[in-house]
Chain A
Amino acid sequence: MVKLTPAQHHLLNQPFEKRIFLEGPAGSGKTTVGVVRMLQLLHAGVPGDQMLVLVPQRALGIPYLRALASPEAPPGGQVSVLTAGGLARRMVDLFWPLIARQAGFAHPERPPVFLTLETAQYYMAHLVRPLLEEGFFESISIDRNRLYSQILDNLNKAALTGFPIEEISERLSAAWNGESSQRRVFADAQHCAMLFRRYCLEHNLLDFSLQVEVFRNFLHPSFLCRAYLHDSVRHLIADNIEEDTPFAHDILREWLPELDSALLIFDQDAGYRRFLGADPESAIRLAAACHETLLFTNSLVTRPGMETLGEALGNVLLIYSPHHSQPTPPQKNDWKEILNFPPQSLRFYPQMLDWVADEVARLVESGTRPGEIAILAPILSDALRFSLANRLDVRGIPYRSHRPSRSLADEPAARCLLTLARLAHPKWNQPIEPEEVIHALFIAIDGLDLVRARLLGSIVFRKHSRQLSSFTQIKPEMQERITYSVGNRYETLRTWLSDYAAQPEMELDLFFSRLFGEVLSQPGFGFHTDLDAGRVTANLIESAQKFRQAVENAGGMEGTSPGCEYLAMVRDGVIASTYVSSWQPPVEDAVFIAPAYTFLLYNRPVEHQFWLDAGSNAWFERLYQPLTHPYVLSRGWEPGRLWTAAEEYQTNRETLFRLTLGLLRRCREKVHLAFSELSEGGFEQRGMLLRSIYQIQIQETRHG
């Protein structure tokens, strides 16, 4: 049983019918009291199926889901734990026939086709690629997939903020303060967004933005949907509303007066998901719609030094703000105890990684549980993840990593399956490189090492024919070198592929499933006991299946099969590069390697944090997004106002402050600052984070 503070007891003693706005810093026990309030309501006889827990992101619903899965929750109907986007999608799916025609879909009699991020990017690419040939976006240099995703991002921002998509370019242009050629880029982005929206309406496709708009504009006002929601949501707990969007806040504002009970929880100094439309200013206005605001002030997580350092960083980083005119030194020197630096200056990046791995090993040896350590980077590249993983493996430290946009197509098992798919479909004319075949054989056949895979691959594969020849045709001395057991397995695989190619073509996802079940996961093949390969294959199948279903339901495509198109899109990096695998609960006892923002949104404090590459500017600078803008497209932005360089600089400082404060409030013992003089690319590093900490040290020295 959780021990509660007097402030938490005070909240729980409030009558249910009171609408409460709870505010406080991270680590002050807000979510804990939210969970207890939910159980309190259930024990008081509130039907679970009349209760909604609204969170901005699934991971933030974990504490509620855990409590509901525990024997402490009483018997009864199921509480829904949803995001606003998830709610919109469910309602659109359920009440589609009510509004499809009215919302302008060309085929209201057909079911809606919900697009994933991948399939939305695919359709965007389909529409934008010809325009690129015509000269669209020629003045900017940007990866195509990032271009597609930023156009989608603009649509999402319009939907979540609540302005018409026709105004995207106008808003961006009005705030633009640089070269006028950029306005042409905004106009191109506008044109593409409109084209995409028209295409979606013509083909019953619903990307995230259209789900939100259809729900907001057509479903939410409809009698049947409203009655359904009114009946299903009598009691509400909305947590981390500062990370949610004006879309979610608008729904809450409308619902609040009619609810039987409500608890809204607001995390101060947060709003980390601004890039995804989070709007803490809009969230805090909901307090006015509640009967009472309660404040939790004391951290139940951190040591006092963390707060001191947080305040000192605020003094340094916010000095240019009109509200903070003078930087002041820290009031106490307890902040020094919570910071750990490398004992000597580290010149090169790999030295920094070695130091981190050594420190982690030292902590684990001295009794710290690996799950109490987080290694946090501003951006977690594959290379960095790999380098850290290697070092931790060598030291026998368990770890887990989470990077949201990890490329599925780069997984060895997926690469193997994709190459075998190309080999099995020679009519698709997909290019296959000998190296890909060698890799596929190496992964697919158990007992085949890379040397013999290279030997086998170079003999049996001819690039021009795109086919594999038989093991029996190889010279006996070569067969012996490769070994007959490997040869038999190779023949099983080759015969399976060749038999398949002689049959009518099958849907690609079904092909993968059958190849996996009948060959690759059988004894003697590489996936047989490789549980991770099973997971990757399942993800690839899901990705290919969703792609196919989206394409089929939208009326198919002319002249090519969905499978062939899927493989082409994977090669172009449009598909399977942004696949997000199913959510998994964190494993408790392993070092967590993650981007800093991802860690914040897991909302799980640890004893030790390593801030990796603290000298890098990536901690401070906003991502380069030439087609969109999180602040200009937010609800609080005054139309027509210019976004200046000073504003950019100040916003970056404020963002860095919020980020570091959020991290400190989720750290119980120590922050280990890892940095090297030279970056990974060999450049001198003097990023804002490191400079701010130096500045605190200097101020303190000056003031004795």
Chain B
Amino acid sequence: MDKSRSHPETLREVQPFTFSQSSLQDFSDCPRRFQLRYLFQLSWPAPIAEPIQENERLTRAGERFHNLARQALLGVSLDALHESVLASGESNLPLWWQHFLQLIPLLQVGECRPEYSVSVPMGEHRLLAKFDLVQYFATEQRAVIWDWKTSLHRPPRARLEKRWQTHLYPYLLARTGLPRLGNASLTPSGIEMVYWFPHTPDQPERFLYSEEQFQRDEESLQAILAEINRRQPSQFEQTANERHCHFCVYRSLCERGIQAGSLEEMEGDIDAPGESSLDLNFDQIGEIAF
């Protein structure tokens, strides 16, 4: 009975827990998925979508794009970055990069914080956001949250509007402000969330935030946290919408299918590298000699 293999079964056992937009979305899509991924911390490495190679290529291209955007915004030479895009051999990247270069002048107005993370306590837990970019306009006391979306299919606005990210990110920015940029308290109406799609750069989706929405979001967040908190192990039920299962790695464990769904039909967030834990292996060298 190696206890390293046992896991908590309810949220109460893992307090405090840090909720991200992905974990909130997972719970909303399928409580069972939330339980398997975050409570059991279960590695279940089945394919997410087919063709598996294409999915991997797109994920890597998305990660690469996020990295390039960050480097460019931190002042790394655009020529050097351009050279690396051309040498990458990645088919989507040159076009995405071209589009991003056109966006850069717009991003150079005001002050920019690329790859900025904030967290906020809520009850016994915390909420976390990892912004691709926050742009702040001091004179107008206004901030724009940019999120790069490199997924193959652009989700419809109505779908984006329902996603937790659209609510959590502006809510958290309103709660924390931008103290390093000289503004410790932003009003909700001064915040805008923009999803920018490098393959369709002229059609970003913009969501203006407001005081009313802030209040509603706070209530929704409190409600969902309380809901997850009160659930017993058997109450993390599987989703009734089996479409989610097509793109879920746990489909075999839940006996909800054999093959992964088609990438063509996937509208997703395969482009969010921030929540993977690449850095967990940075320190392998530090673990070996003993």
Which residues in A have some Cβ–Cβ distance to B below 8 Å? 45, 47, 49-50, 56-58, 68-78, 83, 85-86, 89-90, 93-95, 97-98, 107-111, 116-117, 149, 153, 156, 208, 224, 228, 273, 275-276, 370, 389, 392-393, 396, 398-402, 404-405, 506-507, 510, 512-514, 516-518, 521-523, 528-529, 531-532, 534-535, 537-539, 541, 546, 578, 580, 582-584, 587, 589-590, 595, 597-598, 601
Contacts and interface: CB of A to CB of B under 8 A. Distances in A.
B87 A109 contact: yes
Interface string B77-120: 10011011011100000000000000000000000000011111
Contact of B282 (A69, A86, A400, A595): A86
A69 B16 contact: yes
28 contacts: A70-B16, A70-B121, A74-B121, A76-B118, A76-B179, A77-B176, A83-B282, A89-B282, A94-B71, A95-B74, A109-B87, A111-B64, A111-B84, A149-B288, A153-B289, A228-B74, A273-B289, A276-B285, A392-B1, A516-B45, A517-B249, A517-B251, A521-B253, A531-B5, A534-B45, A587-B6, A590-B3, A601-B290
Contacts of A514: 46-47, 52
Contacts of B70: 94
A77 B87 contact: no
A98 B77 CA distance: 8
B75 A598 contact: no
Given A49-B117, A75-B121, A275-B289, A69 B18 contact: yes
B44 A98 contact: no
Contacts of A507: 53
Interface string B109-141: 000000011111111111010000000000000
A276 B289 contact: yes
A224 B73 CA distance: 12
Contacts of A580: 281, 284, 287-288
A535 B43 contact: yes
B45 A582 contact: no
Contacts of A153: 289
Contacts of B184: 45
B259 interface: yes
Cβ-closest 5 pairs across A and B? A517-B46, A590-B3, A538-B43, A97-B80, A71-B121
Nearest to B80: A97
- Report which residue of A78, A149, A528 has the largest number of chain B beta carbons within 10 angstroms of its beta carbon: A78
A579 to B, nearest CB: 9
Contacts of A401: 2, 4
A517 B252 contact: yes
A528 B253 contact: yes
Contact of B3 (A70, A73, A116, A398): A398
Nearest to A532: B5
Nearest to B50: A514
Contacts of B285: 85, 117, 156, 208, 276
Given A47-B179, A85-B282, 14 more contacts: A45-B179, A69-B126, A77-B118, A85-B286, A97-B77, A98-B77, A107-B87, A400-B4, A402-B4, A513-B45, A517-B46, A518-B259, A541-B45, A597-B290
B227 interface: no
Nearest to A589: B3
Contacts of B226: none
B288 A389 contact: no
A510 B56 contact: yes
B253 A75 contact: no
Contacts of A70: 16, 121, 126
B67 interface: yes
Given A83-B283, A94-B70, A578 B288 contact: yes
Contacts, number: 228
A19 B16 CA distance: 32
B240 interface: no
Contacts of B41: 584
B116 A77 contact: yes
Given A70-B16, A94-B70, A595 B290 contact: yes
B280 A56 contact: no
Contacts of A404: 287-288, 290
B159 interface: no
Interface in B224-275: 249, 251-253, 255, 258-260
A103 B44 CA distance: 40
B277 interface: yes
A296 to B, nearest CB: 26
Contacts of B252: 517-518, 521-523, 528
A400 B2 contact: yes
Given A50-B180, A111-B84, A399 B119 contact: no
Contacts of A276: 285-286, 288-290
- Report which residue of A90, A404, A516, A534 has the largest number of chain B beta carbons within 10 angstroms of its beta carbon: A534
B257 to A, nearest CB: 9
Contacts of A116: 281, 284
A95 B76 contact: yes
B286 A56 contact: yes
Contacts of A523: 252, 255
A58 B283 contact: yes
A71 B123 contact: yes
A90 B118 contact: no
B40 interface: yes
Contact of A57 (B1, B280, B283): B283
Contacts of A73: 119, 121, 126
B207 to A, nearest CB: 22
B276 to A, nearest CB: 11
Nearest to B130: A78
A337 to B, nearest CB: 30
A678 B64 CA distance: 58
Contacts of A117: 284-285, 288
A513 B3 contact: no
B175 interface: yes
B220 to A, nearest CB: 18
Contacts of A56: 286
B76 to A, nearest CB: 5
A261 to B, nearest CB: 16
A58 B286 contact: yes
